[in-house]
Amino acid sequence: MISKKDKAKLKEHSKKHEGGMKGKHMKNMTKEMKKGESFSSAHNKAKKIDVAASKKNEKEKKPKKKIIKKVNKKPIKNVKPKKAPIRATNLSSY
């Protein structure tokens, strides 16, 4: 059984964690405290459980798909460069 003092301590501590009292970390802590652990030892065990669970989740996540840019598959036409037009001013210098 958890004392009123410990419940108040848990409630205050839950503000620091995602999900409040319903979060996984707090559920793990209350479970350990109901077994007879102190607040600090229950917190340490809950942290270990949280770390182990997060590592497991990382392994289960699918790797991100690589984004491959589509390449234009149309063939490039053989284009000959255009010749510059001959100007009358150029011919007068000869």
Per-residue pLDDT at 30: 92
Q: CA 24, 28, 30, 36: dihedral to nearest 10 degrees?
A: 180
- 54 within a domain of the structure (yes/no): yes
pLDDT tens-digit readout, 50-68: 888 887 777 666 666 777 7
- 14 within a domain of the structure (yes/no): yes
The residue among 8, 49, 12 whose CA lies nearest residue 27 is 49
Provide the domain count of the chain. Answer: 1
Query: Residue 25, exposed/middle/buried by CB under 10 A (0-12, 13-18, 19+)?
Result: buried
- 41 within a domain of the structure (yes/no): yes
- 86 within a domain of the structure (yes/no): no
Maximum Cα interatomic distance, the chain, rounded to a whole number of Å = 111
- 75 within a domain of the structure (yes/no): no
Band of pLDDT at residue 26, cut at 50, 70 and 90:
very high
Q: By residue range, what is the domain housing residue 19?
A: 4-60
Residue type, 65: K
HSE on the CB side for 58, CA within 13 Å? 6
- 78 within a domain of the structure (yes/no): no
pTM: 0.55
- 70 within a domain of the structure (yes/no): no
pLDDT at 80 over 70: yes
